[in-house]
Amino acid sequence: MDNNLSQDKRRANRLRMHLPVTYKVMSNTSFGKTVTKDISKSGLRIVSDAFIPPLTELALQINLFSKILNPTAKVVWSQRLPYSDRYQVGIKFEQINSPESRYLEDYLLLHQ
**Angle at alpha carbon of residue 49, lines to 42 and 36, rounded to 5°:** 30
For the chain, domain boundaries: 3-110
| Beta bridge mates, 21 | 34, 62
pTM (2 decimals)?
0.86
- The mean of the pLDDT values for the chain is 89
Distances (CA, A) of 19 to 54, 87, 99: 22, 17, 19
Residue 45 has pLDDT above 80, yes or no: yes
> Residue 31: what residue type?
F
Q: What is the pLDDT of residue 65?
A: 81
* Domain covering 3-110, topology: Thrombin, subunit H (2.40.10)
